[in-house]
Chains A and B, each alone.
Chain A
Amino acid sequence: MYYMLLIYECTDRPQPGDPGFEQALERVNAYADECRRRGVFVAGDPLKKASTATTVRVREGKTMLTDGPFAETHEHLGGYYIFDCRNLDEALELAAMCPMAQTGSIEVRPLDHIPGLTHGVA
């Protein structure tokens, strides 16, 4: 089963040049390497800050744009991974190993598979 790990960060991630950036990068790369070694890695990317988000809605043919993310929650979505796991236990274990779990929160959601859907990794 495919699982998406949605990474909600509670702190700003270090940028290149910041103290601790190299170490953080090393940790995240080591994590992805371990996931590849286990044969579960499908995809994974960081997202730019929530302040860069624009939310789109089309109502009665009119496109409406809103500055900012959809959910006005305290913690914003900061990135994701998609893993192909044997079961939820494996996905939860990988989420707990993720360096971002140390400071943020990781929501683990199975990808759905809809009969007849022509795309999607699941």
Chain B
Amino acid sequence: MTDLAAAAVERVYREHRARMLAALVRVLGDFELAEDALQEACSQALRKWPRSAVPDDPLAWLLTVARNHAIDRVRHAAMARTKLEPPREVVPMNDKQLIDIGDERLSLIFTCCHPALAEEARVALTLQAVVGLTAAQIARAFLVGESTLAQRLVRAKRKIRDAGITLEVPADHLLPERLSGVLAVVYLIFTQGYTTRDSSLRQEAIRLGKLVASLMPDEPEAIGLVALLLLHDSRSATRYTDSGDVVLLEDQDRSRWDFASIDEGVRLLDRALRFGTPGPYQLQAAIAAVHTQTPPNWSRIAALYNDLLMLAPTPVVALNHAVAVAMADGPALGLALIDEISDLDHYHLLHAARADLLRRLDRLDEAADAYRRAQSLATDPADRRFLAGRSLELGNR
């Protein structure tokens, strides 16, 4: 019975943690209090369920115990603080209402990704509260000290409580901007998993993206983001050699791509595009999808980058557009486009792309210079090795 009860607690917690936390934050307006209360409810369940029985509705049981515990704590704290003041009012609710709150995970996500929090805090809080990673796991994934990360989380939770950030889905007129903030957090988590080659972090990002998309089924950009992440992830096994060297897309062993992810990504992209409102994530997913074809249709990729450039006119997109044009219409045209880009002189890939085009135009001295510049700007060791190798192929110039 003890094992059975413990397994029941564990299962309810694992399956419904985010949902219970969301319901409690909503009622209590306080992350830390909600987390403590949920912990307390779980330890009470571990003590009591073996002796009585697993309740018919374990979720309701846990939420009721957690809420009562939190209310007690608030009352006690108020009484200890002052006798002048009645205890701070916790939203009065009967048990039935608390359970009827339903699925507030979307509100939880919007709160964790609130633009009044620092970007790094949004990422950390989302990973902790929504995904369920521990502070130690998040610290490891983002290569920061655990105490730094713990402080970041506490500061964010207190700002939410003290500055009056309420747990809710933003009003319609704020929704587009706030949703793009949520999607940016998901994308940041994925790219962190991409640069640090942490596949479990990438999987968490994909799962989180799917959760957002399933909670907002009418948002094509949310679906497009999931498609993009799946398509990127499908090639993760072939991006580097066993010794950790960069493998260019055209040299990758396609038989080792994850075709299940590619299929799923393409299917989701089709679904997103049927809404008829292509946004930056859908366009990037479309580009990634064309890249999976052999040989890729570079005119199509160049056209998609051109569309993306209209929506998101950043120098990095302009660089990608230039490279696609070079592949479709020749290196001279691509190089002319690269040389029009400003504000990107510090970016190693700009110089790497220039070097490659100069090499193809037989301007080898200039190519060697550009490779050296790229190598001096690259920070990733695998990128540096790749650029050094290219530089070497040109000989001493």
Chain A residues in the interface with B (C-beta under 8 A)? 1, 3, 85-89, 91-93, 110, 115-116
CA distance A1 to B116 in the complex (A): 16
Set of chain A residues within 8 Å of B82, measured between Cβ atoms = 115-116
Taken residue by residue from 79 to 118, chain B's Cβ proximity to chain A (1 for < 8 Å, 0 otherwise) reads as: 0011011000000000000000000000000000010100
* A85-B116 contact given A115-B81, A116-B82, CB 8 Å threshold: no
Set of chain A residues within 8 Å of B248, measured between Cβ atoms = none
Q: Are B165 and A89 in contact (CB under 8 A)?
A: yes
Q: List 18 A-B contacts (CB under 8 A).
A: A1-B164, A85-B164, A86-B166, A87-B165, A87-B168, A88-B114, A88-B116, A88-B164, A88-B166, A89-B170, A89-B174, A93-B174, A110-B162, A110-B164, A115-B81, A115-B82, A115-B84, A116-B84
CA distance A85 to B168 in the complex (A): 15
Chain B residues 126-177 with CB under 8 Å of chain A are 162-166, 168, 170-171, 174
* A-B pairs, 9 with minimum CB distance: A115-B85, A1-B164, A87-B166, A115-B82, A116-B84, A88-B164, A87-B164, A88-B165, A88-B163
Complex partner residue of B163 from A86, A110, A115, CB under 8 angstroms: A110
Set of chain B residues within 8 Å of A86, measured between Cβ atoms = 166
Extra contacts, 15 of them, besides A87-B166, A88-B164 (Cβ < 8 A), are A3-B164, A85-B164, A87-B164, A87-B165, A87-B168, A88-B114, A91-B164, A92-B116, A110-B162, A115-B81, A115-B84, A115-B85, A116-B82, A116-B84, A116-B85
Which residue of A is nearest B165, CB measured?
A88
Set of chain B residues within 8 Å of A87, measured between Cβ atoms = 164-166, 168
Set of chain A residues within 8 Å of B168, measured between Cβ atoms = 87
CA distance A87 to B166 in the complex (A): 6
Set of chain A residues within 8 Å of B166, measured between Cβ atoms = 86-89
Contacts across chains A and B counted by CB atoms under 8 Å:
32
A112 to chain B, nearest CB (A): 8
Set of chain A residues within 8 Å of B164, measured between Cβ atoms = 1, 3, 85, 87-88, 91, 110
A29 to chain B, nearest CB (A): 24
Set of chain A residues within 8 Å of B114, measured between Cβ atoms = 88
A87 to chain B, nearest CB (A): 4
Set of chain B residues within 8 Å of A92, measured between Cβ atoms = 116
Set of chain B residues within 8 Å of A1, measured between Cβ atoms = 164
A109 to chain B, nearest CB (A): 8
CA distance A87 to B81 in the complex (A): 26
A38 to chain B, nearest CB (A): 13
CA distance A84 to B24 in the complex (A): 25
Set of chain B residues within 8 Å of A88, measured between Cβ atoms = 114, 116, 163-166
CA distance A57 to B1 in the complex (A): 69
Chain B residues 5-63 with CB under 8 Å of chain A are none
Which residue of A is nearest B160, CB measured?
A88
CA distance A79 to B340 in the complex (A): 44
Which residue of A is nearest B82, CB measured?
A115
Which residue of A is nearest B159, CB measured?
A88
CA distance A90 to B166 in the complex (A): 10
CA distance A91 to B163 in the complex (A): 10
CA distance A93 to B149 in the complex (A): 30
CA distance A88 to B161 in the complex (A): 10
CA distance A89 to B85 in the complex (A): 28
CA distance A88 to B178 in the complex (A): 14
Set of chain A residues within 8 Å of B163, measured between Cβ atoms = 88, 110
B166 to chain A, nearest CB (A): 4
CA distance A3 to B164 in the complex (A): 10
CA distance A38 to B171 in the complex (A): 16
Set of chain A residues within 8 Å of B85, measured between Cβ atoms = 115-116
A105 to chain B, nearest CB (A): 15
